[in-house]
């Protein structure tokens, strides 16, 4: 069976292709754009939002304490959503916002300098 062909005539203007040279391309990239950049978000509170990755080291006893606390939470709340180390650290940072940081630093350094 032959295929049916429908002929349609549509007038589409052909735009001339313009090749951009290396110099023009570099100038376009280096020019400051007039589009304003979006304002930075001040607070990311939802755990689904991506944050900034922070890497740091903890002392071995701090890691042991943290893991024990997470395990004890799992044992006490077996049906709860799994608690992660990152979530606990985010909660600790949020809690530290409410404290007087100068006093906390002085107390911590006084304990650890001995």
pLDDT of residue 6: 77
Sequence-separated (6 or more) residues with CB below 8 Å from residue 28? 20
Question: Is the CA virtual torsion 5, 9, 12, 18 positive or negative?
Answer: positive
Sequence-separated (6 or more) residues with CB below 8 Å from residue 66? 58, 85, 88
- What is the mean pLDDT of the segment spanning 101-113? 89
Separation of alpha carbons 45 and 55, rounded Å? 20
Separation of alpha carbons 20 and 3, rounded Å? 42
**Which tens digit of pLDDT belongs to each residue from 60-100?**
999 999 999 999 999 999 999 999 999 999 999 999 999 99
- What is the mean pLDDT of the segment spanning 9-31? 80
pLDDT of residue 41: 58
Domain segments of the chain as ranges:
81-114
Which tokens belong to 69?
């606390």
């Amino acid at each position: 069976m032959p295929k049916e062909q429908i002929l349609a005539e549509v007038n589409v203007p052909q735009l001339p292709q313009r090749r951009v040279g290396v110099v023009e391309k570099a100038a376009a990239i280096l020019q400051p754009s007039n589009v304003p950049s979006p304002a930075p978000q001040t607070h990311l509170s939802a755990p689904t939002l991506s944050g900034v990755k922070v890497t740091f080291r903890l002392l071995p006893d701090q890691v042991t304490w943290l893991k024990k606390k997470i395990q004890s939470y799992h044992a006490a709340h077996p049906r709860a959503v799994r608690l992660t180390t990152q979530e606990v650290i985010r909660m600790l940072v949020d809690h530290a916002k409410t404290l007087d940081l100068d006093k906390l630093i002085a107390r911590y350094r006084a304990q650890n300098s001995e």
